[in-house]
Amino acid sequence: MSGEHTSAPVAARVRRLEERLIEAGVVGEEQLDAALAAMLKGASPVNGARIVARAWVDEGFRARLLDDANAALPEVGLSMAGGIQEQRLKVVENTETAHHVIVCTLCSCYPIGLLGPSPSWYKSEAYRSRVVREPRAVLAEFGLELPADTAVTVWDSSAESRYLVLPRRPDGTAGMSEPELAALVTREGLIGTAAV
């Protein structure tokens, strides 16, 4: 699934909107570029990986993160601020019996600051519609086969709320440092379309 979809229709609509705003004199091209650069500055899946690694090694942080992610993020030097209002972040934890995956069925809302720019498949209509209806089939297309008794929950992001998956810590990593653990975490693991 990851390679067969494109975000061209979404990109075309965004570009038309940008052109209309520029033509109407609401904003200039340079202002749009500056706003995008500011939004993406420091945005990377490395941020989400740091959160996960800390949660894996610090039980207190993990509990605070699951209880109130927005309040816990400053402990690792991050926040959900950056727009007009702070976005709400909910972290959902994968366990032996529960697996979570995130989507935005209306557009492509996504915690950019924690995961970097979203992959094209995340924005595709096929992913957005199918993962809600048949999550196991979509996850299998990503190569993630879950046991039949694992409950799968799909979390739908919105303009105000974002989600991040706390993947299960891989076996055999007990002696690894926090940076070594962070290096194991992928963007797909943070979305829930892959295990770590």
36-51 pLDDT, tens per residue? 666 666 778 999 999 9
In the annotation, is 129 catalytic? no
The answer for residues whose C-beta is within 8 angstroms of residue 132's C-beta and 6 or more apart is 103, 105, 154, 156
Among 104, 120, 124, 157, the one annotated catalytic: 104
Any idea where the domains of the chain sit in the sequence? 8-191
Among 2, 44, 109, 124, the one annotated catalytic: 109
On whether the CB atoms of residues 119 and 52 are closer than 8 A, the answer is: no
Among 2, 108, 120, 161, the one annotated catalytic: 108
In the annotation, is 2 catalytic? no
In the annotation, is 104 catalytic? yes
8-191 fold: Nitrile Hydratase; Chain A (3.90.330)
The answer for residues whose C-beta is within 8 angstroms of residue 15's C-beta and 6 or more apart is none
Reported as a single tens digit per residue, the pLDDT across 71-130 is 999 999 999 986 556 789 999 999 999 999 999 998 878 898 899 888 989 989 999 999
User: Count of CB atoms within 10 A of residue 75's CB?
Assistant: 14
Alpha-carbon Rg for the chain, nearest whole angstrom, is: 18
pTM (predicted TM-score) = 0.81
Among 2, 107, 129, 177, the one annotated catalytic: 107
Residue 171 corresponds to which tokens in the numbers above? 């076996």
